Structure 1
Amino acid sequence: MELKIKQRLFLSTYFFISGICFSTWASRIPTIKTTFGYNEAELGTILLAMPISSLAGLPVSGWLVSRYDSRVPLLAAFILISVALCLIGFASNTFMLVASISLFSFALRILNISMNTQAITLQKKFDRTINGSFHGLWSTGGIVGVGISTLLVAMDVSMGIHLLSVSVLALVVSLFSYRFLMRDDRAASGNKLVIGKPDPYIVYLGLLAFFSAICEGGMFDWSGIYFKEVVKVELFTLGYLTFMIFMALSRFASDWIVERIGMAKTYILSASLVTVGIALATTMPYFWPSLIGFCFVGFGTASIIPMTFLLAGGSKKYSTGMAISLIATYSIAGMLVGPPMIGYIAHAFNLRISFIAFAIAGLMLIPISQMFFRHRRSLK
């Protein structure tokens, strides 16, 4: 097998397993809410641990990908994720839960930076766009994770056993796949943050990541609760599962769509789908309208981060790893704002009204993306 094909195959495995790990955690948030008896505002506060600890992981991840081949922090992150998942499953009090979630989020940040650095660098070896397929496999892993969660919830399997099983799987697969990952991908220059006037190229991409993270992160954390408490569906993972399925379909199709209509129009299409989907789910909070609305939101949000990270690789000022790390800062800010904001709005009004924030965030993608492409044209 050709080397670049083998590297793509095993890097795809990391994306797939990381999707399983994340969706396993996200699909159990309603279980955590019920087990600890949190209201929406309290849960929103607990969820703040994720973006805060993720933000703490940014300088560490940036330093790691500039000092080592990206596969080194990638493996280290997977080991920490496996430990954190297990701890979340057996947390017996709020302090232990928050500490475990913080470790999980910290490791996820290192994982995302190193994994996407590998992906963008490997992309340069191919004549066609392949980055969307990596993120599609992440979403596919998410679907598998939610599917397993749905089955185990129906079987009344404890959260501790569930998360322990997934953590062992992640650890075994990551250790086996490590030796097949791409080596020598550390950039020789552009690894230091330049203090001064912000680079518009990075700022525009960062804002796209920010508003995308509000939608994506909020849906990850609240879609299950929306189906449980607003739509009144007993098997609450169905909403999250639907969102993830259409996210995966969109990401596999995104490379083809971008090649046909271009990135500028794809951002507009994505924003429109998010807005229509949220409008449908909130104006008609019943099973089928909400399910179809979540399909639109999943399809709309899916291609934004892969496109934005791919564009980050074109930065003239920073290396791929550093550019992704900077843009990820905006993404974390979106996750810092999004899920807790939904919790506070829901507590003040109701959960259905709070979801309108996702539609507003989706609409913001249109003007910002157009400003970015105008700026990029001005650089030529």
Structure 2
Amino acid sequence: VMVLTWSRLPQIAQAQRGVLFVMPHAIVVLLAVLAAITFLIEGAILDWSALLLVDRGLVPKAQGGLGFMLFSISMTVGRLGGDSVVSRVGDRATLVVGSLMAVAGFALLLAAPGAPFAMAGFLLIGLGSSNLVPILFRRAGTQKVMPAGLAVAAITTVGYAGLLVGPGFVGFLANLAGLPSAFAMLAALMCLVTLSARSVTIEAR
């Protein structure tokens, strides 16, 4: 048995050998950038939301994590109902409405005169962004310019790079212009999802 198994090892290794990652191109580049933006925003809220709330005097230090908690809850609820929403209104409308809802959440958060308004902002950001990444990944699987597996792998890599690198970039901007300005930049980046919704949902791309 060992001899037979050993004789097959080179063939097995050769069969499993293949390209694990390729640089995205065409529409996959746009999908990857939008995924990175969405992951970046999630990472920034995880790392910086408590400091934003405390520095603005909206909550005491002990309650600084409330914003991220509400963001996570609303994102979970949004994802649980996401399939139903997308099946009714489609990918494009979900991207547009969701990203605009997230932008409105950032505006409410940054203009909040008190904690309840800020918390409502986090709820809007989480709910609005909840189905963006699933749609982007699904679109990666249906585009025609790259093999679906390689496209999804590329978008996953670029997206999680945004999650890892993004919060540090937000901290750099906060050091230069202040944390509210850095969060305003996140809202501006989310607007790119709105503007790109039509491009990434055109069939047979």
The two structures have a TM-score, normalised by structure 2, of: 0.81
Give the counterpart letter for 1:223 in structure 2: S
- Report deviation, 1:336: 4.8
Tell me the distance in 1 between the aligned counterparts of 2:19 and 2:98: 32
Q: Which residue of 2 aligns with 1:258?
A: 86
Distance 1:319 1:284 in 2: 43
Give 1:232's aligned amino acid.
V
1:223 match: 49
Residue 177 (structure 2) aligns with: 349
Contact 1:191–1:318 at 8 Å: present in 2 too? no
> Which of 294, 297, 303 is the matching residue for 2:122?
294
1:282-361 matches, cutoff 5 A? 282-316=110-144, 317-320=146-149, 322-361=150-189
CA radius of gyration, larger in: 2
Distance 1:364 1:252 in 2: 25
1:114-263 → structure 2 map (5 Å cutoff): 191=19, 193=21, 199-230=25-56, 231-233=58-60, 234-263=62-91
Note the C-alpha offset of 1:361: 1.1
After TM superposition, give the deviation of residue 267 of structure 1 in Å: 0.4
- Percentage of matched positions with identical amino acids: 27
Is the Cα–Cα contact under 8 Å of residues 274 and 359 in structure 1 kept in the other structure? yes
In structure 2, the CA distance between the partners of 1:285 and 1:250, relative to structure 1 (3 Å rule), is: same
After TM superposition, give the deviation of residue 354 of structure 1 in Å.
1.7
In structure 2, runs of 5+ residues without a counterpart are 1-14
How far apart, in 2, do the equivalents of 1:356 and 1:67 lie? 46
Q: Structure 1 CA distance, aligned partners of 2:40 and 2:20?
A: 28
1:368 and 2:203 are equivalent in the alignment? no
Aligned amino acid, residue 147 of structure 2 = Y
Instruction: Pick from 273, 276, 279 the counterpart of residue 107 of structure 2.
Output: 279
Distance 1:229 1:194, change over 3 A: closer
CA distance in 2, matches of 1:325, 1:280: 35
Contact 2:37 2:190 in 1 (8 A): yes
Q: State whether residues 35 and 136 of structure 2, in contact with CA within 8 Å, keep that contact through their aligned partners in structure 1.
A: yes
The alignment partner of 2:59 has SS state of coil
Q: How many Å separate the matches in 2 of 1:331 and 1:217?
A: 11
Structure 1 residue 251: Cα displacement: 0.5
CA apart distance, 1:191: 4.8
Q: Could you say which residue in structure 2 is the equivalent of 1:179? A: none
Distance 1:265 1:255 in 2: 13
Distance 1:204 1:216 in 2: 19
Distance in structure 2 (CA, Å) of the matches to 1:352 and 1:266 = 27
Report the Cα offset of residue 232 of structure 1: 3.1
Counterparts in 2 of 1:315 and 1:351: CA distance versus 1, 3 Å: same
CA RMSD of aligned residues (A): 2.4
Provide closer, same or farther for how the CA distance between residues 207 and 254 of structure 1 changes in structure 2, counting only shifts above 3 A.
same
Q: Distance in 2 between matches of 1:244 and 1:355?
A: 17
Report the alpha carbon displacement of residue 331 of structure 1 after superposing the two structures with TM. 1.1
Tell me, yes or no, if the aligned pair for 2:77 and 2:127 is still in contact at 8 Å: yes
CA distance in 2, matches of 1:370, 1:337: 27
Give the number of aligned pairs.
188
Contact 1:270/1:300, CA 8 A, preserved across alignment? yes
- 2:63 match: secondary structure: coil
